[in-house]
A and B are shown apart, each in its own frame.
Chain A
Amino acid sequence: MAALYEGYTLCGVGTVQNSSNIGILGVEQGRDIDHVLVTDSSRFITVYKVSDQRPTGSWSVKRGQMISCPAVFNTQSQEYVVVTDDKVVRVWNKDDVNLEKAFKATVSADVLRVLSATDSEPVVLFCCGAVRFLDLLLASPQQPIEHVLAEDEIIRWSTIVKAEHQLVILFSTEQRGEHCLYIQRFDPNTLVKHRFETEPGLSAPISFSATCRGSNIHLLYLYLNGSVYESVLPLRRSSTGAEGVLALSRSLCLSLPLGEEKLMSGAVVVLDEAHVAVVGFPHPSAGPCKDYICIWNTHFQTLQACKEMAGRIYSQLWCYSGKMYIPHGKMLSVIPFECQKSSLAAALGKQKQTSQSAESKSCSFVSSWTAQTYSDVTQTAEIKSRMSTKNNSDVKSALTVDQLIEHIKTSAVEDVQAEVGEFIRWTPQADLQLAVGRLALELVSRSQTDANFYPQCVFLRLLETRYLCYSVCPELLSLAMVKKDFHLCQIAFQIFSDIPEAVTCSYLKTILSTSDSEMETVNLDTDSVMFMKELTRAQSRSDEEGGQLNGFCSPALESDVSDTPSNKLQRDPLALDMSCPVGLHKGALLNEVLQTAYSDRPLLPHLKDFTVPQVIVFLQYLRFLYFKYCHDAHKQIRALRTPSISQIIDWVCLLLDAHFTVLAVAPEAKRLVSDLHKFVRSQVKLYTELGKIEGSLQVLKNSKRSEDFGMYAIQVIELF
């Protein structure tokens, strides 16, 4: 699960003289997570407090001088470092007003970049490939710098990764079309060279992003054809490392869809282990426009969030502490984002299985990405206005998720209900999507520990948002089953598409073992109950009609109730038993289960746990439905959700498979099974007859165009 929030502008981007894709030189982490250091491509270095969207300090170099690398903040000395005119290293602190008056030192070789990681000394990377710690360099600025790279080898990209007090510098170079990756480690100083695999038609990677996870560096790099590869490099060099140039092993982790337009640039940045943000690539469903920032899930290759950026995108993207920095048009925008641990259901979206009736389709919330962008566009104004008022006191009335969770832990049911309702009403959809899961988890854990706490309305409310799925909060269903909250279960079964087969079976068992009288008191989804009523009413009606037709409806017979069944039997021994074996509510709940998605193989072992009476009741009910459907197929009962005939048949098959021996042995099942068999046999016969007709019709269709052969022909006919 990932979401992009409404972004805001940090600063303008200076007019760019050169036509390269560089809007600004760089954005670097400032003194804390709320500060960034923006170096623009002309002469200015500005420090911004991000949350306030305002600069806290700004410096510029003299006209004629040029900043040649992004400024960095040295967290150890609390000083800023920048290099001007390739060789002059300038160091100043935030109180310095004039950069000219700050410390400067001229080094003997061209500096490419100064790289800084938190709580460690900045590293200076020279164009020739050599590295020096800044303090050591400044101690003797004119020290000779060795040539590590060949003369025509140019560094294209570089970064610093720090983990476990270990600094690693990564940089990629290009030499006559050959692209290599260098890994510079310290303590001991080693430099390892890797060669990128090249494929015909695939030029160099256009964008890199490196993160450290565990004891490995994960390097992601993007090609123009939309492939995102990942290479895993060890943080510490293995002792048995071979010398020389190594091929870089890689794995494809994402294939971005390409539009029709030819792409020139793009950028990728790793957000967490499963998500990457990409700019410069077209949105898969929004046409050829490239001005989108998209978050992709690399595990499931799904698009998780996207946002259209106004103006040209410069193929630059930085990410620091939950915010993305993206220059576009004439501004640098900050876009906060959030990535959550991904479940498959969440990654795939919230689509329910399609049900038969069109009405239900229209009412179910289908999360479509085009719709999402549309709502984003429309909401922009609204949200902006809210953003502007956020600074005012209004913001206090709506709680944040964290606050709400705290409240849930302690408050009474009524308060929680009110607060959650308020929260759902006021939180934008994108935020809600993430918050609902957390809320549900918290509510369930409270309910599990506190026996008196069971906010059914809140759960229903959360379900109604349709952002919840089983995997987000697996405990919810089991809780509801323990509490025998069949209404909640019913709604959950309607909405969740990822209920495991074991849970489905245990729910089925719960339903089947609950008595009908207990069930009738439960308040259920009216539509499903209406369907059951119609279904059973159709039966009694047809019974009446049959009685009238046969002239058996004498008052004497009617009054003698006990006599009626035997009379019925006498009347028509072939008549099928069409009475509903379960109550209306139970039937409605069973219908819901029949419509849930399942895979038969995992379901079968759980089905085997049923007791014999449960099996028989369930099979009776399925038979009832099957007969009903076959007899009243023409009857259109208007209901939103009804089990389809194939679902019913599938369940009959499953049940028969799972309990074959039981049904063969159990005496009470004998009549049921033989009835079913009789009916199925007649149906099979009917369908074979239909099959015959089909063949004939087919031939008729083909024979329509009989050829005219003139006066004489010799043909071959075949008789069967």
Chain B
Amino acid sequence: MGEFKVHRVRFFDYMPSGIRALAFNGDTERMAVARMDGSVEIFHCSDRFFQEKIIPGREQCGIEGLSWVGERLFSAGLNGGITEYDLTNQKVKYTIDAYKIPWYTFLVGCEDGTVKLFEVNEDKIQFERNLDRQKSRIVSLSWHTSGSKIAAGMMDMIQIFNVETGHSIHRMLADRGVGTSRSKECVVWSVVYLSDGTIVSGDSVGMVKLWDDQTGTLIKSHNVTKCDVLALSVSQNEDSLVAGTSEGTVVQFQFVSMVLGKDDKEWVRTRTFKNHTHDIRAVAEITTAVVSGGMDAQLVVKPLLDKIEVRSAASALRKIHFPHRRLVFCARNSGLMLFQYPGHLELWRLGESEGKGSSLFVKRNPEKLLHLKVKGEDHIRCSAVSPCGEWIVYSTASSLRLYRLHYQRFLFLFFQISKLPKVLSSANQLCFSSDSSHLFSASTQSSVHIVSLSQSGCKFVGTLKPKSGSHQAIHLLAASEDGEWLASANSDHEVHIYNLQTRKAHCTVPVYSSAVTAMGIHPTTNCLFMMYADQQMCEYSIEQKQYTDWSRTVQRKGLHRLWMERDTPCLNVMFNPQNPSHVILHDTYMLCIIDQSLPLPDDKTQFYNQLTLKSLTEDQRKSHSHAFKVCKTFKDILCVELISDQSLVVVERPLEDVATQLPAPIKQKKFAT
């Protein structure tokens, strides 16, 4: 089929940030994840854990807790603020100061020993009152379902408050560890108040303890680890409890009857999972799985197999390492790469090679042209580089900046465009037209602003608005090669297509149940190729406003089982200009070229057949080859891009490299070490 020259890039030092808190919303099946850098991500649990929304963090913004109230998401941070998020526009809605808050929303335990009660109003939260002030810090809090009692984890003890009176009902002392750790305080890292009056606590001694709130006595104690139990979470029907430890293990307890058929149930330690290398800072039990996250920055979804009936993609262990957004952008025509870090951008020029063979001699090494720090405290939300390589744009939650680069032989000029149209104050997604003459900026209400770029500066041209539908933020933009069409995809799975000549909405692709993870417009046929989070693919003819025949064939015949079972979404769609039937896709683990002229594989054919084809002769290959040509040479791919000289840029971020940059995990004694 063909050879590709591949630039394998591993110098993008992207470091995912550690996970600090998890909050699961059972009604919307959304999981909110707060990271150490202050960013909050929303994952859609029933859509293969696709990362729907990303709210970038800020400098010095540590989040300590996350909580859903209905469909509203609140967080509390170490800087003493309670934050509500605007999930539609993917930004912070407001922050109010609650004075040194370490934990919890609308019910806030403070470092100074107070528990503050807030009322959640329609658009604001309002401070209500303080409970009795305690001497020590409040580390953890939990409501009873009745709303009348609160359990608070503190230093060396747990207190139960009556919310009505604000007085403490019981004080339960947590034992300190034995031996040398006896002198250290026992921190109750986590408490859970169950509806039957049982209070579960996890502490720094490594115990999970069960208390009775009526008598204030210890019912049962489980020694889970020698280190800390950092996180606890109970399932919605309160029959299962998971505890995360600083060793990286998740321990499950289940409320089961000890004698079959009898009703007297007990909490029994049942399962232990070890999928993390570092501290687990947050656990959550969702309908069918245990989700955990911690310092090693990966979100692990461990399905509970007793709750799954059919084996499917949902029954496999899922580890999410990288964001489901692009962080690398290539200037196709000039061989430049833009790396998006949270606080800065880097621009690199690719190297050059000579010679022949499977591994080429690098004649010129890649060089870093630019290191651009973000102005202000906000982290970068999105960025882009124009295909010609002359324009760079990025946006934070509060500002958007456009830069122009000018290369001469040895001179490299770089300046910021100062007078930007007012509409370009902030963007959810940015995209340049293929001739680099226009910038498209996704704005609020699912609208897209068009700005024309020229030597002198930039000029606002117009705004594209969808005819109807939701106002969710746009997370993907795709412009056609001929400059006629622009497609936008938002978090409500809507894909709108605009005619750039008339600046009117052209049509809307039928809404599919799964989110669009990547899309691209074919340069010759002007068909929109879309990849969905559930691994389906569609090709939609813009001109005919309908799915293409090939797309219908794919839907009718179904995709191969192995294709459907992949657990990372496709993040880019490219087209091979030399062969219009080739569509290039990639996910974290593979690069795939779909040859639309070849037959589709059915479930009986060997799907990953590259090795087989390699061992066959030219004639035999014809009978064995199918449309999906999967290359598994690369691992941990962040980005694949086809640049204009027909070579591919593959940006890898090996997980081993990430692991080496993480802080050292808790030292564990291993046998014979």
* Complex Cα–Cα for A696 and B613 (A): 9
B-contacting residues, A692-720, CB 8 Å: 692, 694-696, 698-700, 707, 709-720
The answer to whether B615 and A717 have CB atoms under 8 Å apart is no
Q: How far is the CB of A690 from chain B (nearest CB, A)?
A: 12
CB distance from B143 to the nearest CB of A (A): 51
Chain B 600-639 against A: per-residue CB contact (8 Å), 1 yes, 0 no? Answer: 0000001000111111100001000100010101000000
Q: Is B8 an interface residue (CB 8 A)?
A: yes
Q: Is the CB of B2 within 8 A of A718?
A: yes
B121 contacts chain A at the CB level, 8 A cutoff: no
Residues in chain A near residue B629, CB distance under 8 A:
719-720
Q: Is the CB of A695 within 8 A of B612?
A: yes
CB distance from B498 to the nearest CB of A (A): 35
A719 vs B593: C-alpha distance when bound (angstroms):
9
Give CA–CA (A709, B634) in the complex, Å: 13
Candidates B359, B615, B621; contact of A713 at CB < 8 Å: B359
The reply to whether B360 and A716 contact each other, CB–CB distance below 8 Å, is yes
Complexed CA–CA distance, A691 and B616 (Å) = 10
Taking CB atoms, residues of chain B closer than 8 Å to A720 are 1, 610, 613-614, 621, 625, 629
Residues of A close to B135: CB separation below 8 A: none
Chain B hits for A698, CB < 8 A:
615
Chain A min CB distance to B157 (Å): 52
**A686 CB to nearest B CB, Å:** 14
Chain A residues whose C-beta falls within 8 Å of the C-beta of B544 in the assembled complex? none
Indicate whether B179 reaches chain A with its CB closer than 8 angstroms: no
Q: A692 — which chain B residues lie within 8 A by C-beta?
A: 606, 612, 615
29 contacts between A and B (CB under 8 A): A695-B611, A695-B614, A695-B615, A695-B616, A696-B612, A699-B615, A700-B611, A710-B10, A712-B7, A712-B8, A712-B11, A712-B362, A713-B7, A713-B8, A714-B351, A714-B353, A714-B360, A714-B362, A715-B5, A715-B8, A715-B358, A715-B360, A716-B4, A716-B5, A717-B631, A718-B4, A718-B614, A719-B3, A720-B613
Query: Chain B CB within 10 Å — which of A710, A711, A713, A717 has the most?
Result: A717
Q: In angstroms, how far is the closest chain A Cβ from the Cβ of B405?
A: 22
User: A715-B360, A716-B358 are contacts. A696–B611 as well, Cβ < 8 Å?
Assistant: yes
For residue A618, give the distance in angstroms from its CB to the closest CB of chain B: 36
Q: Which residue of chain A has the shortest Cβ distance to B610 in the bound complex? A: A720
B9 nearest in chain A by CB position? A712
Q: Is B216 an interface residue (CB 8 A)?
A: no
Q: A709-B8, A712-B8 are in contact. Are A719 and B360 (CB under 8 A)?
A: no
CB distance from B579 to the nearest CB of A (A): 12
Residue of A nearest to B13 (CB): A711
CB distance from B629 to the nearest CB of A (A): 5
Tell me the smallest distance from the CB of A389 to a CB of chain B, in Å. 74
Asked whether B357 is an interface residue with its Cβ less than 8 Å from the other chain, the reply is yes
> Within the assembled complex, what's the spacing in Å between the Cα atoms of A60 and B358?
93
Question: What's the least CB distance linking A550 to chain B, in Å?
Answer: 26
Residues of chain B lying within 8 A (CB to CB) of residue A716:
3-6, 356-360
**A682 vs B558: C-alpha distance when bound (angstroms):** 28
A717 touches B3 (CB 8 A): yes
Cα distance, A715 to B591, chains bound together (Å): 14
Q: Which residue of B lies closest to A689 (CB)?
A: B606
Interchain nearest-CB distance for B332 vs A (Å): 17
Interface residues on A, range: 20 to 34
Asked if B365 CB lies within 8 Å of chain A CBs, one says yes
Binding site for B on A (CB under 8 A): 691-692, 694-696, 698-700, 707, 709-720
The residues of A that contact B366 with a CB separation of less than 8 Å are: 712
Partner pick for A714 among B1, B8, B625, CB 8 A cutoff: B8
A712 with B365: CB separation less than 8 A: yes
Closest 6 CB pairs of A and B: A695-B615, A720-B613, A714-B353, A696-B611, A711-B11, A692-B612
Q: How large is the interface on B (under 10, 10 to 19, 20 to 34, 35 or more residues)?
A: 35 or more
A-contact bits for B498-511, CB 8 A (1 contact / 0 none): 00000000000000
Min CB distance, A710 to chain B, in Å?
Answer: 7
B631 touches A715 (CB 8 A): no
B631: A residues at CB distance < 8 A? 717, 719
Q: Name the distance in Å between B65's Cβ and chain A's nearest Cβ.
A: 39
B2 closest partner in A (C-beta): A719
Query: Within 8 Å CB of A696, what residues of B?
Result: 611-612, 615
With the chains together, A709 CA to B635 CA distance in Å?
Answer: 14
Chain B nearest CB from A478 CB (Å) reads 51
- A sample of 11 more A-B contacts (CB under 8 A), given A713-B7, A720-B1, is A692-B612, A695-B611, A696-B615, A707-B359, A713-B359, A714-B647, A716-B358, A716-B359, A716-B360, A717-B631, A720-B621
A473 to B: closest C-beta gap in Å: 54
Contact of A699 among B6, B362, B611 (CB under 8 A): B611
Question: Complex formed: what's the CA distance from A709 to B361 in Å?
Answer: 11
| Inter-subunit contact B614/A699 (CB<8 Å) | yes
A715's contact among B359, B365, B606, B614, by CB below 8 Å, is which? B359
Taken together as a complex, chains A and B put the C-alpha atoms of A719 and B598 apart, in Å, by 14
Q: A692-B606, A715-B8, A718-B3 are in contact. Are A709 and B612 (CB under 8 A)?
A: no
A699: B residues at CB distance < 8 A: 611, 614-615
Residues on the A chain within 8 Å of B615, using CB: 691-692, 694-696, 698-699
Q: Which residues of A contact B6 (CB under 8 A)?
A: 714-717
- Given A695-B614, A696-B612, A699-B614, also A713-B362 (CB < 8 A): yes
Point out the residues of chain A lying under 8 angstroms from B625, CB to CB. Answer: 720
Min Cβ gap B148→A in Å is 60
Q: In the complex, which residue of chain A has the Cβ closest to the Cβ of B648?
A: A717
Bound complex: CA A718 to CA B648 (Å): 12
For the complex, give the distance between the alpha carbons of A720 and B366 in Å: 29
| Closest beta carbon of chain B to A221's beta carbon, Å | 59
**Which residues of B have CB within 8 Å of A710?**
10
Q: Nearest-CB distance from B108 to chain A (Å)?
A: 46
Give Cα A709–Cα B7 distance, bound, in whole angstroms. Answer: 12
Instruction: Quote the shortest CB–CB distance from B661 to chain A (angstroms).
Output: 14
Q: CA of A718 to CA of B4 in the docked complex: distance in angstroms? A: 6
* A302 nearest CB across to chain B (Å): 46
Task: Find the B residue at minimum CB distance from A710.
Answer: B10
Report how far A717 CA is from B359 CA in the complex, Å.
Answer: 9
Q: Give the docked Cα–Cα distance between A717 and B10 (Å).
A: 17
Among A692, A696, A709, A713, residue most surrounded by chain B Cβ atoms (within 10 Å): A713
- B4 pairs with A719, CB closer than 8 A: yes
B3 contacts A709, C-beta separation under 8 Å: no
Q: Which residues of B contact A713 (CB under 8 A)?
A: 7-8, 359-360, 362
Contacts of B2 in A (CB 8 A): 718-719
Q: Are A714 and B610 in contact (CB under 8 A)?
A: no
Q: A714-B7, A715-B6, A719-B1 are in contact. Are A709 and B359 (CB under 8 A)?
A: yes
| A431 vs chain B, min Cβ distance (A) | 61
User: What distance in Å separates the Cβ of A719 from its nearest Cβ neighbour in chain B?
Assistant: 5
Contact partners of A695 in chain B: CB under 8 A: 611-612, 614-616
Q: Mark B1-31, 1 if CB is under 8 A from A, else 0.
A: 1111111111100000000000000000000
Chain B contacts for A707, CB-based, 8 A: 359
Are A712 and B351 within 8 A (Cβ)?
yes
Q: In the docked arrangement, what's the CA distance between A716 and B355, Å?
A: 11
* B610: contacting residue among A691, A715, A719, CB under 8 A: A719
Residues of A within 8 A of B5 (CB): 714-716
